[in-house]
Structure 1
Amino acid sequence: MKPHYTHHQMFANTTRFNRDPEDAPLVEEVHVTKPVPANPRVERFILIGWILIAIKHVLVIWAVQRYPVPFHQLWINFPTFLLGLMATWAYYTHE
């Protein structure tokens, strides 16, 4: 059996968009919180991590050129760089 719908159930209530602006404000109140300041210890840790990533990249490039290996250096360096980039982005864009 087919369900029976009334016109109130079939259509969205759009009357709330057609109201007089004088009736009530759209925004009742706004709360603003201060952003969390950056932690110098964490930023130093991130910097040390990037320095270690750079050293690892140089060592991998040297090892791949020095020894015959069956893969390209980016198979090791790119995931490391990407993970460091995502971790740094996550720290600096958190709420």
Structure 2
Amino acid sequence: MQKGPVFRAIDRWGHIALEGLNPNSVSRLLRMAFARNGVDGESLSGHSLRRGFATWASRNEWGTKALMDYVGWKDVQSALRYVDTDAPFGDLAR
């Protein structure tokens, strides 16, 4: 499976579901993974992943359109809310 949601259910036989997990499940799974690795993840969520990715992409000079297309944002205002203010925002920084 090459396209679709990143976080999906996997049954005990290794079959991957076509649909994505419920957003609440993602947060719960993230917190469990952090706890298993000795990291306090109570304040983190799926939103944290999106924000972290947007900031990473911005710092690595992704263009505005590329980031918006990849994440699925329709307007620049949505994208700007997710990028840390100290990070340049791709081609907007120029």
Higher strand share: 2
Q: Do these two structures clear the TM 0.5 threshold for a shared fold by scoring above it?
A: no
Bin of the TM-score, shorter chain as denominator length = under 0.3
Higher radius of gyration, 1 or 2: 1
Higher helix share: 1
TM-score w.r.t. structure 2 length? 0.21
